[in-house]
């Protein structure tokens, strides 16, 4: 918003000023030096102010900014999920880090030449990212999957160990 200048910049600056206290509060909750309930209470007036400013931005006269603000307003509940749900971050940094290897691979390899190739690469990268997030060995898991395929058995699960145990018990 800020990069578009004019009314869009003013709207973006105003949202940033209101949102600035959010991250220190969030970091205290994550460190355990502040209770989630007090963070929720602190976020309530901030949420109102941010949503009011985004509503103003939706009518700013800059089409891209107005459209983006309208999209944010339609998804406003999702925007604040991190306040209510444990282990949900207020940013998308984790997701961005997870897809970064795929972006770098595509830039360095000229991508794929077919829809089937794209699905294959997407599947591989999903498996690798999932295993890395679970701190499981990619090589061991792929070796186990290949061995299972050669024996005609089902591939090992990508679910975390806790989910596999609860699924087996059900």
Break the chain into its structural domains and give their ranges: 2-84, 93-169
Q: What is the torsional sign of CA 92, 95, 101, 106? A: negative
> In the structure encoding, which two tokens stand for residue 132, read together?
């890395």
Please enumerate, as own/partner, the contacts of 102-108 that have beta carbons within 8 Å and a separation of 24 or more: none
- How confident is the prediction along the chain (170 residues), in pLDDT tens digits per residue? 778 777 778 888 888 898 888 888 888 888 889 888 888 888 889 999 999 999 988 888 888 888 999 999 999 998 888 888 877 888 777 778 888 888 888 888 888 889 999 899 888 888 998 898 899 999 999 999 999 999 999 999 998 877 666 666 66
Q: Which residues contact 128 (CB under 8 A, 6 or more apart)?
A: 101, 138
Which region, left, alpha or beta, applies to residue 126 given φ > 0 means left and ψ of -120 to 50 means alpha? alpha
Q: What is the rounded CA–CA span in Å between residue 56 and residue 44?
A: 19
Contact 67, 78 (CB under 8 A): no
Q: What pTM did the predictor assign?
A: 0.57
């Amino acid at each position: 918003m800020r990069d578009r200048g004019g009314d869009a910049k003013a709207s973006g600056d105003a949202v940033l000023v209101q949102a600035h206290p959010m991250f220190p509060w969030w970091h205290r909750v994550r460190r355990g030096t502040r209770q989630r309930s007090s963070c929720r209470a602190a976020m309530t007036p901030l949420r109102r102010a941010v949503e009011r400013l985004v509503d103003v931005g939706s009518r700013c006269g800059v089409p891209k900014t107005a459209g983006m603000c309208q999209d944010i307003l339609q998804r406003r509940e999702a925007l604040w999920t991190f306040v209510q749900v444990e282990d949900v971050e207020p940013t998308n940094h984790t997701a961005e880090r997870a897809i970064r290897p795929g972006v770098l691979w595509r830039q360095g390899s000229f991508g794929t030449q077919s829809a089937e190739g794209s699905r294959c690469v997407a599947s591989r990268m999903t498996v690798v990212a999932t295993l890395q997030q679970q701190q499981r060995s990619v090589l061991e898991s792929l070796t186990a999957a290949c061995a299972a395929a050669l024996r005609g058995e089902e591939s090992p699960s990508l679910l975390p160990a806790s989910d596999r145990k609860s699924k087996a018990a059900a």
